Amino acid sequence: MTETAGSGGGVKLQIQGAAKNFGGVRAVSNVSADVQEGEIFAIIGPNGAGKTTMLNMISGFYHPDEGSILFEGRDISQTAASGIAALGIGRTFQNIALFRGMTVLENLMLGRHVLMKSGVLASFLYWGPAQREEVAHRERVEEIIDFLNLTDLRKAPTGALAYGLQKRVELGRALAAEPRLLLLDEPMAGMNQEEKEDMVRYVLDVNQEWGTTIALIEHDMGVVMDISDHVMVMDMGEKISQGTPDQVRADPKVIEAYLGSTDHKEVA
């Protein structure tokens, strides 16, 4: 495997004073952070800290009320989710969002739609360029299926798969769009230990072998501290700490947010 590029490949994503309100509730308040090219960047914090709201602003499901978000130097603060996906930002969701009646292969092919250039009529009639494009997309999807060890399940309906496998398929659908920035919302949530270990391996391989920059939300602190280059900690909508895993786990503000006391030496 190649070494991660988290130590200096340039800034991939810039969050500048981002804030989001829902009625009278300030879900995110004046958050700024840089995600470096090629790194794994984790966003952690207690429940209700504003982590998913932050991810939703990056991916275009919400737009910040204040501040800005830049991807590869381009302001995407007011860009629609479909436009952000087309720019090269992919994501998974905390709650699985697959088409349960469709096969693994079909779900992953849907992930290619932002890359397809043939018109709807040409694709429907399967003429010339559309046919060649379909073959090329199918080849790439088959590579992802092999990468995720889903070959034997490629024609199985996703709704019939075990939970951990469905999470793997959702990762595959996000990868099918060939994102340059991959957003993962609690990719290990609800998994047993074996499933977590598998998912960690895939996330690391995507980052280290494919060179994909990853920003993730995850509650498993062991996973976060093991695989992340940098960690941002949020609490009550605000950023309270950011740094390497070692710096963050020793920060008194982080310890208090998680444990309610500074008597402890570090976050587990």
pLDDT computed for residue 119 by the predictor: 47
pLDDT given at position 133: 61
Under 8 Å between Cβ of 116 and 133: yes
Give the percent of the chain with pLDDT over 90: 63
Show the domains of the chain with their CATH numbers: 1-88+179-268 (3.40.50.300), 98-177 (no CATH)
Residues found in the chain: 268
pLDDT above 50: residue 124: no
Residue position matching structure tokens 């949020």:
234
**Residue 268 to residue 65: CA distance in whole angstroms:** 35
H helix or E strand, kind and range, residue 216: strand 213-217
The Cα–Cα gap between 169 and 175 comes to: 10
pTM of the model: 0.85
Mean pLDDT in the chain?
A: 86
Give the separation between CA 43 and CA 233, rounded to whole angstroms.
6
- Residue 264, pLDDT score: 42
Q: How many CA atoms lie within 13 A of 156 on its CB side?
A: 14
Instruction: Please determine, for residue 114, whether its predicted confidence score (pLDDT) is greater than 90.
Output: no
Residue 261: other Cβ atoms inside 10 A: 9
**pLDDT (tens digit, 9 = 90+) per residue, 190-237?**
899 999 999 999 999 999 999 999 999 998 888 999 999 999 999 999
Q: Which of 45-49, 74-78, 121-125, 149-153 has the lowest mean pLDDT?
A: 121-125
Residue 225 has phi, psi (to 5 degrees) of -70, -25
Residues 140-194 have pLDDT tens digits of 889 999 999 999 998 999 888 998 999 999 999 999 989 999 999 999 988 999 9
